[in-house]
Amino acid sequence: MFGQFVTWGLVVGGWIVVDRLSQKREARKEVRSQVDAFIADLRTLEAQAISYHLATTYDKAAARAIKASVEHLRIRLQYLGLLTAGRRAALISRLRRAITSDNFDTVQHVPQEIDGQLIGEISSATDSLVHALESGFREEFPSPWANR
């Protein structure tokens, strides 16, 4: 009789452990897919912003689309929940400033050089956000094979 309780206890305990590990794995996969999609959209924004600043003429529609994309990414970044509010705000603010603070929303648009400071700052701000997201993901979902 006692042996059956032990057996059932082990079965139930094992099921609980396996269920929790499966849920954690599924959550990790879901967040990973959201992070990957965010990074892809961020890289698209980076390319659009660089193209905008390299263009020979001012494009009001492109400027509006870029600003909307920055705002959309800001909201998505908040939903991911991988970064603190202060870190999110600093990174998005840096990205927004890099893209929109100079040579933006003006009819006196001046084409930038591909190796210029403005283009470099856009890429740097983008890379910083990608790095922070990847670090936040690794902290939230550490690999079971890390540090071995």
Cβ-proximal residues to 49 (8 Å cutoff; 6+ apart), any chain: 66, 98, 99, 122
Is the pLDDT confidence value at 114 over 80?
yes
Is the pLDDT higher at 110 or at 44? 44
pLDDT at 2: 75
Taking each continuous run of H as one helix and of E as one strand, the counts in the chain are 4, 0
Q: How far apart are CA 106 and CA 88, in angstroms?
A: 28
- DSSP 8-state secondary structure symbol assigned to residue 80: H
pLDDT at 147: 61
pTM of the model: 0.85
Q: How far apart are CA 30 and CA 113, in angstroms?
A: 39
